Amino acid sequence: MATAGAAHLQGMTTTFLETDHPRAATGVFVDKLQSAPEVGFGTAYRLDATDHVVDDSFPIPQANDLEKVASIVDLVDQGADTGDAVAEVFNFSDRQGPYYLDAAGYLGLVEVVPDEEVKTYHLTALGQHMLSSSAEERVQILRHTVAGCPAVRAYADGGEEHMLETLAAAGLGDGTADRRGATAVSWHRSLTSSANFATMIDDELDGALYRVPEAARKAAEAREERRKANTPRLVAVCADPLCGMVLPASGDCEYH
C-alpha cells in the first residue's frame, strides 16, 4: 500500500529526466511525465546485489552529492574531521557538514571517535582502504556499499514509490522521506548513469583539498578550547585547616 509520501506519484509515471541531475531537486522530488519508469536497471553500470550492511547507528543519508561523500575519507584523514570543518571545506552551511560525515558513516567509511569534546570522526578499515584506492577503485567500493542501502535498493528494484514505502516503513515522515529519497535517487543515478564518475571524484578532491589545512586547524583548536572549558579548574587554598581561604594568584593568604 502506498504511503502518504508517495501519494503524489499516483496517476502518473514519475521519474527524473535523464538530463536532470537528482540533486537539482534540492531534496524535493520533481514530477516529470515519462512513458515508462526510468530506473536504469539494464545499463552497464547496474548496481548488483551486495552483502554489504550499512551502519544504521547513523541516520539514513541526506547528502545528495556522492562524489563529496567519497571525498570524506581524504578530509577526515587530513584532520577536517568535524561537521564544521567539512562545511568549511565544501562551502556548506554549518548544518550540512555533519550530513556528509554521517552519510560516510552510514556506508561504513568513518565512525565517531568516542569521548571527544567536539563530535569527531575517524576512518574505519574500509575507509582506510578507500583512502589508498584510485578514483576508479573508489567507484567500485561505492557500488558495493551503496547497493547495500535499503532506500537505494528499493529504488533500483521498484522505483520511487517502492522507495518511499521503504523509507516510511523505517519511520520517516513524508517530508523527511522525500529528502532522504532524493539522496537515494541521486546516489543511484551517480553510479548507474555517469560513465565519468571517477573523474567527478577526482575533480571534487582537486577543488576541495586546498581548503583542508585551514579547516583542520580550526577543528583542532575547537577541540582544545572545548576541552579546556570542560576541564575543572584547580584552585589553591590556605594550608591552615582553620582558614581554608582560596588563595589569589600570588599564592599568599591575606590572613596569614
Question: For the chain, which residues make up each domain, given as ranges?
Answer: 4-223
For residue 20, pLDDT over 50 is answered with no
Q: Decide if 183 contacts 63 (C-beta within 8 A).
A: yes
Query: Identity (one letter) of the amino acid at 130?
Result: M
H or E segment at 76?
helix 66-77
For residue 45, pLDDT over 60 is answered with no
Cα pseudo-dihedral 192, 193, 197, 203, rounded to 10: -140
Top mean-pLDDT range of 41-45, 91-95, 106-110 = 106-110
For residue 32, pLDDT over 60 is answered with no
At 139-180, the pLDDT tens digits run: 999 999 999 999 999 999 999 999 999 999 999 999 999 999
* Cell 558513516, located at residue: 105
Residue 227 main-chain phi, psi, to 5 deg: -65, -45
CA atoms lying within 13 Å on the CB side of residue 29: 27
Predicted confidence band of residue 241 (pLDDT cuts 50, 70, 90): confident
In the beta sheet, which residues pair with residue 121?
112
Average pLDDT over residues 133-141: 93
Predicted confidence band of residue 236 (pLDDT cuts 50, 70, 90): confident
Q: Which burial class, exposed, middle or buried, applies to 206 when counting CB atoms under 10 A from its CB (0-12, 13-18, 19+)?
A: exposed
The b/e string for 79-108 (b: 16+ C-beta within 10 A; e otherwise) is bbbbbbbbbbbbebeeebbbbbbbbbbbbb
